[in-house]
Amino acid sequence: MAAKEDLLSGVPPRRLRQSRPGALKQGANLELLLSMGFPKDRALKALVSTGGRSVQAACDWLFSHVDDPFLDDPLPREFVLYLRPSGPLLHQLSHFWQQSRLTCGKNKAHNIFPHITLCQFFMCADTKVEALCEALETTVGQWRGRFPSLLPLELYTSSSFIGLFVEEQVAEVLKKFAADFSLEAATQADVHVEPHKKQLHVTLAYQFQPSHLSSLEKLAKGIEVSLSCDWLAVLLSRDIRFASHETLRVMYPYVPQNEDELELVPGDFIFISTMEQGSTSEGWVCGTSLNTGLSGLLPENYVARADESDTWVFHGSHSFLSCTPPSSLLSVGNEVCDGLLDGPFIDNSGSISQRQLGVVCHPMQVLRVTGQSQLPKRTLFVCRHGERMDVVFGKHWLSQCLDGKGRYVRTNLNMPQTLPLRAGGYRDYDKDAPITVFGSTQARLVGAALLESNTTIDFVYCSPSLRCVQTAQNILKGMQQEGRRKIRVEPGLFEWTKWVSGSSLPAWMPPSDLISANLSVDTTYRPHIPVSKLGVSESYDTYISRSFQVTKDILLECKNMGNAVLIVAHASSLEACTRQIQGLSPQNAKDFVQVVRKIPYLGFCACEEKGDTGVWQLVDPPILPLTHGPNHSFSWRETLLQD
């Protein structure tokens, strides 16, 4: 890749005036960029990647991608042609999108806004995009006035799909339009477009839980399909490299602590390969930034799932009734990809606009119980550990804290003042990090909330990871039960060993060393699954079976000896330790990983036994959820001593 100086050469340091939409064609914008010294291939890529909105947007894209290793990669983009509704029908569909998400959670249909697919995804080189856009404009112009004014839509439902299908005769007319566009694209742009041959429809919901079918069907029946609508021909594109990746939105800033880590800027999007998920250690994933094109490791609790179309680029929208698309198209609402038609909205600083952060959070319903017999049923609580040192300060956090004599000295207030001694020395912390000071505070807050809700814990089990033992200790401290309840360290509760880096398991502290570190563990406890039974890189089925078995053994061991059991382990434990005791089958590995990624530090759930049947069900926990965010390391010298 060329040096930064090559990219920036000849570019004046002033800001450019933002061009009005449609004021300049791509050719004129390209000439301006070339006159500023940008190489032609890069200038074209910048224009296409920003939907040709303006010279300013293209410049911002080039500056933010200055270190992108694929900046000079000649790969084409993937394009698609959709019919998108507008007007009253769009508002009906938008309402369905929002209500279905509120009522039943997100399903696969929510990844893309309401549309009818007219062609398969096809590839187009940057040099041919302007001609492709002109081909669409030409085709729509030829069809304006003879395009169906009303598309008859019929509701269809099955156990896993709900959609509105276009009446067959009208669908054939739409396919003729798609065929004409295909011919025009081949003639004007030398681009091959394959018209959609399947039944044309608007997908309302698919891959949802069977229990949600009746609710979704009821909402779908409320859509007035006969409402007026100007169907718009919309051309969109996506980066072909990330077509099969999961899209995540950055929620919190993160400053890299090591060379292999990725800087996170709120509002940016991250692409994660579905093939590589789970290949890194717990709490970390490998991803690529949309904003910069750079790749690296990042803490997974700093990002959240986004919709697939959030990162697509808009290249044109044409009405069949008039030459100007209705304004309602640009004000759909956050739940239906607000701002999509402006592409991934890059502002003047090169960052993704906050307008993309349309996330609706719904408050949890909390069970507030009073009295001394608030838990007459057997209850299992499962909790994730607190904030980890290696996530906050990077995998090599310890190297920041060793002085010239190899002694630990904290360099940040969120680091513990001292570290327990390890048999293998400080190197044992590489795979078995402690929690931060704030992690301890988080755990004590949870314990205090349990105390306030009059919740009694009879037995405490935890994973052998130090972060879990420390979390359990601080929960007991918050409950004012420190020393009164002994922690049972159970190796069978350790996370999926596939997530452990290297060829060996962590060298966990034995109970005797945990006692020496003032942690209240039960030295008489004999694990159900000893460390010797754990293997590196176990299969998903093995991990799920292990978690199910150890949970059953724990519940059986405590039966008739106490009503409430607390397990403190990993994010994956909330799913792995509760799903099968409810009589449910395990999820596949991919869906399991998606669930795990949503569980924050001190994520807390509760399961209750139905009578004495041995069948359990998830219930509202007796405490409020705990929400927190990361904080930059503050340097007064760098921030306040400015010339």
Please identify which of the residues 385, 528, 546, 579 carries the catalytic annotation: 385
What is the Cα Rg of the chain in Å? 28
Q: Is 361 left (phi over 0), alpha (psi -120 to 50) or beta?
A: beta
- Cα–Cα–Cα angle for 450, 451, 453, rounded to 5 degrees: 65
Between the two ends of the chain, the Cα-to-Cα distance in Å is: 35
Q: Give the SS3 label for residue 165.
A: strand
Is residue 384 flagged as an active site residue?
A: yes
Please identify which of the residues 378, 384, 579, 597 carries the catalytic annotation: 384
Q: Residue 233 forms beta bridges with which residues? A: 83, 318
Task: Write the DSSP symbol of residue 131.
Answer: H
Could you tell me if 359 and 304 are in contact, meaning their C-beta atoms sit under 8 angstroms apart?
A: yes
Rounded distance between C-alpha atoms, residue 158 and residue 175, angstroms:
25
Rounded distance between C-alpha atoms, residue 343 and residue 235, angstroms:
11
Amino acid symbol at 93: L
Please identify which of the residues 528, 570, 579, 597 carries the catalytic annotation: 570
Rounded distance between C-alpha atoms, residue 131 and residue 125, angstroms:
11
Rounded distance between C-alpha atoms, residue 356 and residue 333, angstroms:
11
Greatest CA separation for the chain: 84
For 442-599, where are the E strands, in sequence order? 459-462, 487-489, 564-569
Could you tell me if 224 and 92 are in contact, meaning their C-beta atoms sit under 8 angstroms apart?
A: yes
Rounded distance between C-alpha atoms, residue 527 and residue 509, angstroms:
15
CA dihedral 232, 238, 244, 247 (to 10 degrees): -90
Is residue 91 flagged as an active site residue?
A: no
Residue-by-residue DSSP string for 338-349: TTGGG-S-B-TT
Q: How many CB atoms lie within 10 A of CB 599?
A: 21
Taken in order 449, 451, 455, 456, the sign of the CA dihedral is: positive
Q: Is 123 exposed, middle or buried (0-12, 13-18, 19+ CB in 10 A)?
A: middle
Residue-wise over 313-339: b if at least 16 C-beta within 10 A, else e? Answer: bbbbbbbbbeeebbeebeebeebbbbb
Is residue 110 flagged as an active site residue?
A: no
Q: What phi and psi, each to the nearest 5 degrees, are found at residue 345?
A: -75, 100
CA dihedral 391, 394, 395, 397 (to 10 degrees): -110
Rounded distance between C-alpha atoms, residue 4 and residue 83, angstroms:
41
Secondary-structure percent of the chain, ordered helix, strand, coil, rounded to 5: 35, 15, 45
Rounded distance between C-alpha atoms, residue 101 and residue 106, angstroms:
5
Residue numbers annotated as active site: 384-385, 570
